């Protein structure tokens, strides 16, 4: 897992760096902006067609937003969970949206970065494996 986390962390850092350079250092993460972004995630998750994604908790940290969620029993695969999380996040009105699934032994994790030329949001949606026993997680087993 360390090797896997290393490349994903490098990718995340590179995407942040490129965004900052592309927008001539005017792009930045603002913790205050995440209060609104967090509220929008919760609102879009409650919309018809997205209600299978249930937000358990959101927390705003110095460098990213964390959204803890679960999915109801109508979601039976990792692919369906990924599609649902992607759909909810992509509904938020930002100029760009990046989405990187990064799963580990504890959770399905969906890292995202979104924003405009002068502000941005980074974070992850975390679905703990223990909360989704109805999903076949064997597709994530890379030990064989």
The domain spans of the chain are: 2-130
CATH class of 2-130: alpha beta
Residues 113 and 15 sit within 8 Å (Cβ to Cβ): yes
Task: Select from 85, 90, 67 the least CA-distant residue to 75.
Answer: 85
The token pair at 105 is 């032994």
- pLDDT for residue 1: 43
- pLDDT for residue 89: 94
Residues 123 and 55 sit within 8 Å (Cβ to Cβ): no
- Map residue 29 onto helix, strand or coil: strand
3-state secondary structure string, 74-136? CCCEHHHHHHHHHHHHHCCCCCEEEEEECCCCCEEEEEEEEECCCCEEEEEEEEEHHHCCCCE
Euclidean distance between CA atoms 72 and 5, whole angstroms:
28
- pLDDT for residue 79: 95
Euclidean distance between CA atoms 30 and 122, whole angstroms:
10
- Local mean pLDDT, 10-residue blocks, the chain (144 residues): 66 79 71 83 90 94 89 96 95 90 93 85 94 91 61
């Amino acid at each position: 897992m360390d090797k896997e986390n290393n490349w994903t962390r490098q990718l995340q850092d590179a995407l942040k760096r490129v965004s900052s350079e592309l927008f001539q250092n005017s792009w930045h993460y603002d913790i205050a902006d995440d209060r609104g972004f967090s509220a929008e995630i919760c609102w879009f998750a409650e919309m018809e067609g997205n209600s299978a994604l249930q937000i358990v908790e959101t927390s705003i940290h110095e460098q990213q937003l964390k959204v803890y969620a679960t999915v109801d029993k109508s979601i039976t695969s990792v692919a369906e969970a990924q599609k649902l999380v992607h759909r909810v996040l992509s509904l938020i009105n930002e100029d760009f949206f990046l989405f990187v699934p990064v799963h580990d032994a504890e959770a399905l994790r969906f890292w995202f970065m979104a924003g405009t030329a002068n502000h941005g949001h980074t974070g992850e949606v975390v679905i703990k494996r223990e909360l989704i026993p109805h999903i076949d997680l064997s597709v994530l087993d890379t030990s064989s």
